[in-house]
Each structure stands twice: as structure tokens, then as C-alpha cells.
Amino acid sequence: APEADRHTLIRRLSFGLLGLPPVPEEVDAFVNDPDPQAYEKLVERYLASPHYGERWARHWLDVARYADSDGQETDRDRPSAYLYRDFVIRALNDDMPFDQFVRWQLAGNEYEPDNPDAVAATGFLTAGPFAGLGDNLLEDERLRNRYNELDDIVSTIGTGMLGLTLGCVRCHDHKYDAIPARDYYGLLSALQSGDRGEVILGQSQTKVYAFRDAGPQPRPSWLFRRGAFSEHAPPLPLGFVSILTRDKSPDDYWKQARDSSPLKTSTLQRRALADWMTDVDQGAGALVARVIVNRLWQHHFGEALVRTIGDFGVRSEAPTHPELLEWLARDLVEHGWKLKRLHRLMMTSAVYQQVSLRPAGGPMTGTDPDNRLLWRMRPQRLEAEILRDEMLAVSGTLNLRMYGPGFKPQISSEAIVARNTKDPYPARVDDSAAVRRRSVYMFHKRVVPYPLLQAFDKPDAQQSCNRRDPTTVAPQALALLNDQFVRAVAINFADRLISEVGTEPQQWIERGYALALGRSPSETERGASSEFVRTQIEHRTAREPNAKGDEIRRRALADLCQAWFSLNEFLYID
């Protein structure tokens, strides 16, 4: 397919790397820039933006099943869990090598115990749901809960980092992949000696919800028969996935970890696991590189090279471009595991810059209708959080303050089904700048989902999400028409247009299209928009005869702004 025009490319880049729409002045400058390197310079500028980390942290937080509460029946809040989210954002903005990013999430406190970010990074292990049990429960129930918790961590490490369904091995040898149950319980032993909890960061009194070992001596770990903790074989030593382990044994990695660390308060088995995970020559590093390359490709192109993103086993779907996957993975490792370089390679490629329109009767329409050969760009719907951020941005009310505790937006009492939580959701939250921050900073309470984000397929964080499956259903249209937040930002958008261009409807329309869609309206759109505003003024005047004329016009313009929010062009990126 031919190359897309610059209007399309800047929106594609801006949403792809920042999760925000480009402002009209930025669009005009890029479209009219005679520099043949203008596109490459724009990629560099966006990669250097702090909003890059906010946008791409959302993708990894899906994998980490991050939320700000426990879930389960009590759903206790986790006031300090946000420090893990902040670590992810900072690490991505700083272009932390991905192998270090992985190691810190598995054992950051065993590498750099005095580094607050390294300690907070272990929030990856504690991010999943958790049932806080009362003192009156039997030991069997406690053990069952404990091993369910450890299974959640092992399963997330498997699908999130290795692209392997390790959770299948809890009860028996894997039915398809060469992973025996012994490997599963060997991995579990690295986590057996630790637990979740609030950890003090360095010399400060700041606490973070993270993972820590109980002491330097490993707790015993067993192989359970068919997953039943009441029936187990003799204790198992530390182990890894044997088919990914070559000439260096788990004991070798553990000895290396103990020899290289003076830490005496931890077993250092998680550090041994992290070293094996990122070892390209003797461990799982080559597979970890392929999995993260595949993830980045999926988010940029809408479909991954291996479409079973969390399963690279023998039952996975074969890669559409195996040589490309291998080449990109090797390039990533050889250049220091830098993800920004990987973004740059993908986004400056000719395939990324193609148009998305399917030419009528084109030769590939019948040959490759699913676009597996990447003969055109695939349109993508914005994620729920980015849609909310886009509305705030074009309305001029987006609060760009970064980091810190999450905000709780207003949720109507009718939408809150759970009533028995330990930390109930507030009945009323005032609309203010504090709740107009980017959605990545929203407090995610597992049993009280935010309705607008839920309508647009935000995952529930009960388990690792490798890929969101966007739906197109009637409740989405109803949400855009009736949601209180959508109406509020539509009124803010109207106020912005009146403030910037005055009271002339034609100026509203020109400026509104530039802000919402990054382009000028067509003659048909100008006429339809003008007629819509005129009709809404008439209807509102008839319904509210005592209302002031300026207020009627303001609300009619807000109706048009809300209609723009509902356009496919607003929700989808070509």
C-alpha cells in the first residue's frame, strides 16, 4: 500500500507513542515541514517525551495485572501499590534496558536493596489479587490460598515474560510443551521463601507494597501430586524450565547470586531466577527477547507476529514472519536491550507508514484478507484509558501532573455492586483537577470497575492480560451519549471553543475539527455541523424557554462536541 499522508502519520505516532492527540499547531507544523527527515525527528521527539512512559506503562501494567486493591471478597485498598506503577513509567522513560527491567521486577531488592525503584519494582510479584484471610480459618484454607497466590505469580511470569503457559503444569506435566511438573515446583521454590507486604524504602519512612524474603534460609518446597498440597513428594531444590536451561544449572545461578551479593536477609533465589531469565546464552533470555519484541509489534501494528502473545509453545500459532522476529530479537539484545531503539526501528519502517485503507478490488484483498503479510496498516481502536485521556486533552482540562497516589473518580452508586468490602468506594467525589489526570493514574479498585472504561474493554486485573479484545457493542454508544463524565468534558470542550474563537458557529466547527480530529472539516461536514447546531438551539429553546440565549448556544455546542466524541474517527486510529 502507498505511504500515508502526514496528517495520518502524526496522529498515528502521537497516539502510538504518547497516547494523546497532537495539537493543531503541531499537526500544521509537521504537515508543512519541508525537511525530508521531519518524520524521523518527530519519532525522536515523541520517544523523548515523558508521556511516552505513561502510554507504554499501560501496556505492561496489563501484563502485570496491576490494581490498587486486593480484589476477592474484602478488596482492601493498597495505598502504596502506586509506587510500582511509577517505577514502570520511570523505567520506560529512562529507557532502562529490558533485561534489567525484568530482573528488578523479579528480585530488585536482592540486586539493589537500598534503591527505592529496585525495591518498588518487585511490586510485579505482588500486583495480583489476594485474599486476606481472617484468624479463624483452618490451616487447610490458608495453605490453599497460599499456593493459589504462588500459582498466580508463576503463571504471570510464564505468560508475561516467557510466553509459556506454566500454570498448566501445576497439576501434571504439560500436555503439549516439554515442561514437567518438577520444573513448575522448582520455579515456585524461588518464591516460597517470601511474601507480599509493605516494605520501608531505604532510610525514609515511605512504604511500598512489594515482595520480600523472610530470611536467608529457603523454605522447603515440594512437588504436589495433581496439585494437591496434602499429597507431596520429598522437597525439591531450586529449579527452572529445564528445556530452556543449557550448561549452567540452577545451583550455578544461585551460587553466582550469593557470591555477588553481600545481602544476608534474603535467600537470593529470586536473583538466581532473574539471572537465568535474562541469560541469552545459557538460560531463557533469547525467548524473553522474542516475547517482548512480539508485544511491541502487536501494539504498533494491531496484530503480533506470533498472535498467541502469551503462548510460544508448540500449540501456539506460528509466526507470520519468523525471520523478522528473530532478527529484531537479536538486534534488541545486541544493542543493550533498549526498547526505544526497537520502537524506532518499527515506526520508521515503510510497513508502519502505509495507508490503512483497503483498496477496492486490490490484488491482496482476496489473497490475504486478514493482512497477515502486512500489505497495509491495520486501523486500531483506542484503548479505554486513551479514549478518556483524549477527551480530556481536546477539552483543555487534562491535568498532566505525573506520578503519585491514584485518584478515585466519581462512580454512581448504581454501578457499585460490591457492598462488603473492607475499604468501600467513596459515595461522592467532587470534579476537580485532581480527577482530571491521565487514566494511568486512576485508582483501580478491582471489584468496583469504572463504568466508562469497563464499557470499552478495560481488563479486570484478575489475571495477566496479554491482549485486549476490543468489542463493538451497543453499551459503548450509550455510554458516549449518557455518561456524566463524557457530558462534562463535552461542556468543557464547548467552553474552550467559545473562549478561543468567539461565538460564531463556523469558527467553532473549524477549530473543533482541528482539535478533535486533527484536520479541517469537509464542505459536507461543515454544512451538517452547522445544521446540527441550529437545530439543537431550536429544540433547546423550545424545551427551556426561560434559559438565557448564551447558555442555550453553549449547550447546543456541547451537543456537537459530544457527537465528535462518538465519531469512529475519534475512537479509531488509521
pLDDT digits (tens, 9 = 90+) for 107-157: 999 999 999 999 999 999 999 999 877 767 777 888 888 889 999 999 999
pTM of the model: 0.95
Q: Which of 138-142, 320-324, 367-371, 456-460 has the lowest mean pLDDT?
A: 138-142
pLDDT of residue 279: 98
The Cα–Cα gap between 174 and 165 comes to: 9
Using DSSP's 3-state secondary structure scheme, residue 264 falls into coil
Q: Which regions of 423-538 does DSSP assign to beta strands (E)?
A: none
How confident is residue 283, by pLDDT bands cut at 50, 70 and 90?
A: very high
pLDDT of residue 138: 76
Using DSSP's 3-state secondary structure scheme, residue 105 falls into helix
Grid coordinates belonging to 159: 505468560
How confident is residue 571, by pLDDT bands cut at 50, 70 and 90?
A: very high
Summarize pLDDT for 257-280 with one digit per residue, the tens: 999 998 889 999 999 999 999 999
Statement: residue 361 has pLDDT above 60: no
- Name residues whose C-beta falls within 8 Å of residue 471's C-beta, 6 or more positions apart in sequence: 457
The Cα–Cα gap between 209 and 127 comes to: 9
**Residue that wins the pLDDT comparison between 417 and 43:** 43
- Name residues whose C-beta falls within 8 Å of residue 232's C-beta, 6 or more positions apart in sequence: 222, 223, 224, 225
pLDDT of residue 413: 84
Amino acid at 538: E
Residue with cell 543449557: 246
**Is the CB of residue 389 less than 8 Å from the CB of residue 439?**
yes
**Residue that wins the pLDDT comparison between 440 and 232:** 440
How confident is residue 367, by pLDDT bands cut at 50, 70 and 90?
A: confident
**Is the CB of residue 69 less than 8 Å from the CB of residue 442?**
no
Amino acid at 306: V
pLDDT of residue 359: 63
